[in-house]
Amino acid sequence: MKNRILSVRLSEDERNDQRGDEPAVPDVILIRNQYPDAAALHRVLDYVCRSGMIGGYAVDPVYAFREFMLVKSAYQNIDGRQLLHFIVSFSTTEAYRLSADDMLALGYDICHLFPGHQVVYALHMDSAHCHLHFVVNSVSFEDGKKHFSGFHDLFPVRDFLQECFPRSNVHIYQSFPDSDVNRFGCSDDDELLRID
């Protein structure tokens, strides 16, 4: 995994050329919602995969809903929280320095931080801040158990991004349940995606 991400890392010189002494900092945003049933899972996957720039880890993103549900059914663990949903949001500087392929490669590497779980990720470039959405199946395909409970599950993502973007101070934020980002008909809210 580290070999792949080396192509995405910015050297200190490249960063200083872009923003003086200010490091580029991606943000990690946990989307707080209960996602209590299969319908919620389906809506989130439809929304996330609408961009066309999608990928998956241990799942074909085109058939993600079906494959997530197959794992849940195989272990008879269909009830309760269906997924973990979070975003990695890039500043304009990062978006300028990283190609879409670099961001997607970074997304694939982040998926490996959730071993034993199916992960779908997608790059959205339809707002002022490019961002990657991640949808992680709450049920492990290795043991059928649910392993996610919230905010602390994103610490490995923060640490990984901190390593990829040295001199940065990566933060984890969370949306509130009544945030626009939890209304599936709404477009991405730039105020949520870029917390400065």
CATH number reported for the structural domain that contains residue 151 in this entry: 3.30.930
What the block records as the tokens of 92 is 């304009």
pLDDT at 16: 45
pLDDT tens track for 3-39: 344 334 444 444 444 444 455 678 999 998 889 999 9
CA distance 165 to 179: 29
Mean per-residue pLDDT over the chain, rounded = 82
Q: pLDDT > 90: what percent of the chain?
A: 59
- pTM of the shown model: 0.82
Domain, as residue range, for 72: 2-193
Closest Cα to residue 92, out of 164, 17, 194? 194
Q: DSSP states of 49-88 as a string?
A: GGGS-EEEESS-GGGHHHHHHHHHHHTT--SS--EEEEEE
CA distance 83 to 174: 15
Judge whether residue 54 has pLDDT over 50.
Answer: yes
* pLDDT confidence tier of residue 183, bands split at 50, 70 and 90: low
Cα Rg, the chain, nearest whole Å: 16
Number of domains in the chain: 1
Q: What is the mean pLDDT of residues 83-98?
A: 86
CA distance 45 to 59: 12
